A and B are shown apart, each in its own frame.
Chain A
């Protein structure tokens, strides 16, 4: 046991060691979180707090005209999570397995796959915004030059299409992450299991399906939870590309975007509404918190059963 009971002499040292971290966390994380909760229960005039209104702000979210925005934003977050998770785990798995089975150049390909992950989402978003420009972007000129009508689409201009284009950009930037997490999971599998299976005559496909895949359960848990949290806090991509109003036609509005828009306004939107915004913040808070907790509990239970 590395820990030991404290002598009187040590106590001031412990306090000195822990206090700075505690103070910073309390002031800039804990206090704002609780303040947020209280803000959602008040009426607001710009950034001046008004009267206590109970749950009125939450009720307003469920009525016209905010109901549509809020419901749409929530639906978009769900779509983002589901699509991101499905595509990025499958593509990530393929890339991980590919690197895992390489004989040479593992390090190199690992670095390449991971490269976009280090780029800022703002840079990635602006870059793709230029790429996808229908007038001057390279993608539409490629489509015209090689006569590929399927490539020549209003990628960021059609509701229904725009959100998936954003998800694609998100994938471009993030797929290296699950790939590396899976790869690490594969590397930690005891080679002897695999050797034994090979000697028993199992095919490579069977080895993947019966041994590698099930043992990756912890990696799935982590990727699922991180994707869940990331998807519900999705902000930079829609903000940079669709703007604060979630263009086209509000189809790229996410909850974080709505939360920001209501707190800080838009070009021509006349009023900001801190109360409503805080209510969304609280809902997101609870949702992300409970979702992450439940997800990790359920997935861990499954891991044990395996």
Chain B
């Protein structure tokens, strides 16, 4: 009985190795044709066509690997991704966000950590970018960074001329002056609405009031809290802009305020450089430009809220990690970075990709000169309630007149204080 079994084993293993041998020698092209199908999830519904073309190029170079790209509306993305991962399904390749929202996937072990040598050129990425793809307590790397973002002001000079304004503002007070002038002419100054996306508008001007990176470092170290007068001032600055927002601004949705700007019906839109490609696509005829938030006085200190936007990670449960890794390598190369800049008009994280777009160049140079962490996204989205969530409910309440800036700051402080260690005993 036993010998027979052994014999059978021997025969079996011989056959297997024979088949393997003949396979590797004779049927080498066949193994390549053995199709692997991967899926990828992303929140960039705006860039769907671009990613599909990237995948097409990749598949042409790597026959046998097929990737299906699925995008979900940004607002629902995290929810959809989380429950898919929890269900043990989820995509093989995950477009992940950075910092706190990434940590949400890291903690339950949904993502497969990346070793430094697994992705070529990863060591050339700046440390800040790589750090955005690490967990809060788990410091391994979980994604290949994909883009940098910064906040600034989009402006439509043609529209501004209707109010007799010829040049963009050089200082912040001048910016307010121009808004006044536009309003007096019966025109629309700011396109921004006052709903959840108000955090971006706040982030565009806030660092100038709370003092940029210095304040950030102090808060992260627990030396200062959000009840600091400088922080409260940054909230009051939003209130000051309220009269120049559309009427009933607190009910204006993100989509509607973007539409107001790209349809040429407002002078300014304060937001992320990532809108560049979207505005161009939606209205190719619109002439607009992008600028960093101007300083308080000529030659004064300038700040630009900046963050690494997210990355490409691998599902811990994927059955095709080598193939997914291959795609990640592609996404970390210039073959991705160059068209990403060209087509999507965003700032790629791939090192050494030249940026020729004038508006993107402006954003890049402003990041290099004046970049400061976009405070809530970078530092305070790790636990519930997040700093962002508290601001996104707090600021609209301030604009509605139900809360003062101080009350909003208190709430942010108290909420973040429930989980943020350095605040212990300070609230």
A: which residues have CB within 8 A of B?
Answer: 45-48, 64-65, 129, 132-136, 140, 152-160, 162, 243-245, 247-250, 264-273
Contact = CB atoms under 8 A, between A and B. Distances in A.
A267 B77 contact: yes
Interface string B64-83: 00000000001111110011
A156 B257 CA distance: 15
Contacts of A265: 78-79, 82, 104
Contacts of A46: 82, 86, 107-108
Nearest to B260: A135
B239 interface: no
B260 A249 contact: no
Contacts of B400: 157-159, 248-249
Contacts of B74: 267
A32 B74 CA distance: 31
Contact of B384 (A129, A152, A271): A271
Interface of B: 74-79, 82-83, 86, 100-101, 103-104, 107-108, 194-196, 246-253, 256-257, 259-260, 377, 381-386, 388-389, 392-394, 396-397, 400, 402, 414-415, 418
Contacts of B107: 45-46, 271
A64 B194 CA distance: 27
Contacts of B402: 159-160, 249
Closest 8 CB pairs of A and B: A157-B251, A157-B250, A154-B248, A154-B251, A134-B248, A46-B108, A47-B86, A249-B397
Given A46-B86, A136-B256, A270-B104, A245 B246 contact: no
Contacts of B79: 244, 264-267
Contacts of A140: 248
A31 B318 CA distance: 31
Nearest to B86: A47
18 contacts: A65-B414, A134-B247, A135-B246, A135-B260, A155-B251, A156-B251, A157-B400, A249-B394, A249-B402, A264-B83, A265-B104, A267-B76, A268-B101, A268-B381, A270-B101, A270-B103, A270-B104, A270-B382
A240 to B, nearest CB: 11
A133 B254 CA distance: 11
Given A244-B79, A268-B386, A249 B396 contact: yes
Interface centre among A48, A155, A159, A248 (most CB of B within 10 A): A248
Given A245-B196, A267-B78, A272-B82, A250 B252 contact: no
Contacts of A266: 78-79, 389
Given A46-B107, A133-B256, A135-B256, A249 B393 contact: yes
A273 B384 contact: yes
B159 to A, nearest CB: 15
A100 to B, nearest CB: 39
- Give the interface SS of chain A, mostly helix, strand, loop or mixed: loop
A157 B252 contact: yes
A273 B104 CA distance: 12
A135 B260 CA distance: 8
Contacts of A47: 86, 108
Contacts of A273: 384
Contacts of B250: 154, 157-158, 248
A135 B103 CA distance: 37
A146 B379 CA distance: 49
Given A46-B107, A135-B252, A152-B248, A270 B396 contact: no
B247 A270 contact: no
Contacts of B75: 243-244, 267
A270 B100 contact: yes
A177 to B, nearest CB: 28
Interface centre among A64, A162, A267 (most CB of B within 10 A): A267
A21 B148 CA distance: 56
